[in-house]
Structure 1
Amino acid sequence: MLYSFVVLVRMPEFPSPQEWVVILYIFTSAIEKIREMFMSEAGKISQKVKVWFSDYFNLSDFLAIVTFFVGFGLRIGGEDVLVPGRTVYCLNIIFWYVRLLDILAVNQQAGPYVMMIGKMVSVLFFFLMLY
């Protein structure tokens, strides 16, 4: 919710305290993903990386973290690249919403509704492509 707030509210030139909380959360998430990768059972580091990237949600998390830090780099790069940084933030939040839907899919009450929403969105996407 805080990331949605950061994206929706006007961005000052220097990151707000709310944005620093989001940055800290995503940074610690990146550290956890690195730890998760290196603690896997595969032998060599290249095998660990290959096994870790074979999972769809690990790849999605990697792209979410990398694009967030690209957006953050653009965002603090100066007034000239503030708007492209904000645009990358806006596109990046899609990855985090998909991750949230994955977490909610496990819930006993919300899971079936998430699955129905996913099927409806895929059908809606087909009709949008026809239009």
Structure 2
Amino acid sequence: MMIPLPRFQIVTLLKAGVKAVIYCGIRVKDQCPVIIKGLRPEQCTPNNIEQLKHEYAIAGRLNTAVAVKAYALEMHQGIPYLIMEDFQARSLVFGVTFPDTNEEVPRRILPSAIATTTDDL
């Protein structure tokens, strides 16, 4: 499901989950790389829309360099899209490699809250 979201160019589909789809894209006005998370049309229930709004509100209050910035919450054809910073990181599914030792740490050591957050998308 590719979306024609105004003001954004979709580059690639990152994940198609049960509730949401996540794209890598570019904001056209300034060529800023972004991540776009949108609900699937059949999942646009009031509860799911409120969850996405809540995610945007929480991200907006996190003023730290270690949290992904939420740029906007946009509606297009009745579907909410969360527009977030794309810091072009590697997927946590594959683990994290430390440059000093080239040792890869598997995902399972990450806090379960992070791991489960993406599992039901």
In the superposition, the TM-score normalised over structure 2's length comes to 0.32
In the superposition, the TM-score normalised over structure 1's length comes to 0.31
Larger % of strand: which?
Answer: 2
Larger % of helix: which?
Answer: 1
